[in-house]
Amino acid sequence: MFEEDAFSTKVTADYVLVTLDFPRGEEAKAAVPNPERNEELKNQYGITGFPTVLLMTPDGEVFGRSGYTGATPEEYLADVVAQRVDGKAALAKIKMINDEFEAAKDKMVVVKKAAGLLATLNGAPGAETLSTIVRKGFELDPENKSGFKVDALKALLKSGQGNDADLVMAAEMDPANEHGLMEAVVANAIEGLASLEDVEAFVMTADALFATGKVHDQELVSGFWLNAAYFCHKYLEKPAEAKVWAQRAVDLGVEEESMELINEILGTEDPA
């Protein structure tokens, strides 16, 4: 789509197009001129999957984000326009919260406000700024006397802003998944899988969640079990484990379009 005149001619009137390549093959990787800089930018902007498209100011401030949508050039351009309007308005609101935090005497009040907004963004522009404010709350209240950490971690993980330290903290705070943090940990584990080691780590994390015996979002967790079944079946060569995960997914309920895979793994026409 980016090569279509209907897109490129109009979009270049307002934007400079920049492409960063993240090839998987070793030969192609060797041709990338500055892989360290690419990796730095991937981490800076929280890129977990490809393609990812960012709309940003010349200073690198992101106000829009998307991926592959299947849209026509005209539809995609309309979305770019909408993201530019809505995204810049959101950034202005977040800047106000940031200024409020700097000026506040009781900064924890603003931290909680930032966490509440962050939980609604789901990776939208400005999440990075809010996540910085939220993490300052961990420093202001290291013993969690205000009880804000659960909501803060939920916001960080749900918005895609969770880092390794957040994931460790979430697992330590909610090992029995009483607050749903373990589900958020597993959801983060499935993002950006790039190797068999990543896949194995995901299955282990899913197993830790299953061991809690607690499910908050049944549809989400069923998807975890289905992915674990597929990975064990397709990549890890663990057919017995694949069957176990597939049956767990069935027990929670799966979409009709997933039944072909379930049947293949279980070797039955009627897994129920």
pLDDT tens, the chain, 272 aa long: 778 888 888 899 999 999 888 888 888 888 888 888 988 988 888 787 788 999 998 888 888 888 888 888 889 999 999 989 888 888 888 899 999 999 999 999 999 999 999 988 766 677 888 999 999 999 999 999 989 999 999 999 988 888 889 999 999 999 999 999 999 999 988 887 888 999 999 999 999 999 999 999 999 999 999 999 999 999 999 999 999 999 999 999 999 999 999 999 998 655 44
The domain containing residue 236 runs over which residues? Answer: 178-272
pLDDT at 268 (0 to 100):
67
pLDDT at 194 (0 to 100):
80
pLDDT at 54 (0 to 100):
92
Helices (H), 145-213: 149-158, 164-173, 181-189, 196-212
Please check whether residue 242 lies inside any domain of the structure. Answer: yes
pLDDT at 88 (0 to 100):
87
Phi then psi for residue 69, to 5 deg, are -120, -15
pLDDT at 269 (0 to 100):
52
pLDDT at 164 (0 to 100):
87
Tally of domains within the chain: 1
Please check whether residue 113 lies inside any domain of the structure. Answer: no
Please check whether residue 200 lies inside any domain of the structure. Answer: yes
Contact indicator for 105, 128 with CB cutoff of 8 Å: no
Please check whether residue 224 lies inside any domain of the structure. Answer: yes
pLDDT at 246 (0 to 100):
96
Contact indicator for 250, 272 with CB cutoff of 8 Å: yes
pLDDT at 4 (0 to 100):
84
pLDDT at 271 (0 to 100):
43
Give the span between the Cα atoms of 268 and 272, in whole angstroms. 9
Task: Please give the helix or strand (H or E) that residue 238 lies within, else none.
Answer: none
Please check whether residue 171 lies inside any domain of the structure. Answer: no
Bridge partners for 62 per DSSP: 56
Please check whether residue 87 lies inside any domain of the structure. Answer: no
Please check whether residue 70 lies inside any domain of the structure. Answer: no
Please check whether residue 118 lies inside any domain of the structure. Answer: no
- 3-state SS class at 216: coil
Q: Is the dihedral of CA 198, 258, 177, 161 positive or negative?
A: positive
- Tokens linked to 109: 């009040």
